[in-house]
Structure 1
């Protein structure tokens, strides 16, 4: 049985692990939170004590951490993956980090005999848990061919967007600038409807069958009208971080990102007021300003 590793077994990483196990892989993993490790073992995973131990026998290891610094530590650190992974294996960088950070990791791994596949993902918690993620993969074609079965175990769509580290992260930064704008526009429209006395169900029915309807908008609106602002698997910290990456890339390249900048401020307000909330909690901040809430059924 082939061994695959997962570092970071939270909302996204637990989905990776679950679907790898379901597809017949032996999965080793590590997370800083004991409750996540317990859940991982209960689903059939093998707990490791360090990133190096995760990589020791693994043909590939998914790195699903929050920041570029964390990715560098678990990949390149003294007790990191590169210190123990066998030659010919691959680090699959599925976390969303700055393109520059992915390039730095790739440069540091040169000569190690270990491949780097830069492939951030989209699909959120439902996609991770359902094994239907979209991957933006950057690596030479022969490497992507060799590790396709591993990646296919957790995804429904694998797009080959480049051959070098950082190219996958660049595409993800562009995507998140769009998704951030879709989210923030939905939050504002929800507050507008609430103030006007429109029911959430009416708004969802119209939006979901209009040209504006899509997975991002429909899911956000569902969460808003059912007042599900925590524990939905889409913590606000993640999107907030992703938007900072998009904004940083725009600054680096001299590209004005007016709409993404507005989304960034809406997420910043939501994260400041409700640091434990999920993305949709930004709506509450706007609702508090206008003095109205959007529920599935309009209140009499």
Structure 2
């Protein structure tokens, strides 16, 4: 059976999702929704139209799963629950500290509508979360540690772009080499957030806000830098570097969307805990949005199947069996992958 997908938001993630749908024979793009003028948005899938976001509720009987490709920081906290009142939905909400409250709000809306909502389905939270869970279940006497990067964080870059007088921005998350070496040796001691990562930001100021007064330009840059470095949940707990560059340099040097990271778990077994084991899971991504979109596509399949099974409410990757996310039967899985 074909699952009809609606895409809400057509930025980098939405475009990546369109590519992902094309690679899954059981998924079909039904419509794309945008807050821009639909006439200005071109997609590559033939015979599929682009509509304004306000029209989405007219498609309740035409879409099986609505995948939200909007801002995790500014849109999903309100949008996911709203759309879960009418659709099966999937999002990639990535503010770890706020996942519990996001889950509760979405769960109420989805249950009231008998819909299934999968939240936080990216690679972290998401795939990395599963690896942390499996490792901790297998080696309960141990410690886990996660590194992100080197790569561009879509959510953090978007958060910077929402700051007044910022025209564009890219934010790189960079693991500190000394911390990686320490963890690979089996030591997890004294590794707080600040010890593990550096956040490096490249920012383009809106030139319409600049003037010839050099002192005023410096004041504006200082204000923006302070807002970045003090932003809760994003930068305030990290060592952060901010560089102001031209739009030309940003396009030339920072147009790619690479990312990746590592999950480590070190645990012990044996009568006297004499045997040590280190689990390492890593990702190296050429395109963060395209990889994240591929995860969203897989969990859209799961949301549809779960809803057909009578399951409603909010779900995370922890709640969904692996067989639900792949386009194979149980028999095929047992004979080809198990």
Larger strand proportion of the pair: 2
Higher relative contact order (CA 8 A, sep 6+): 2
* TM-score of the alignment, normalized to the shorter chain, above 0.5: no
Larger helix proportion of the pair: 1
Q: Which has the larger radius of gyration?
A: 2
TM-score normalised by the chain length of structure 2 = 0.39
TM-score normalised by the chain length of structure 1 = 0.43
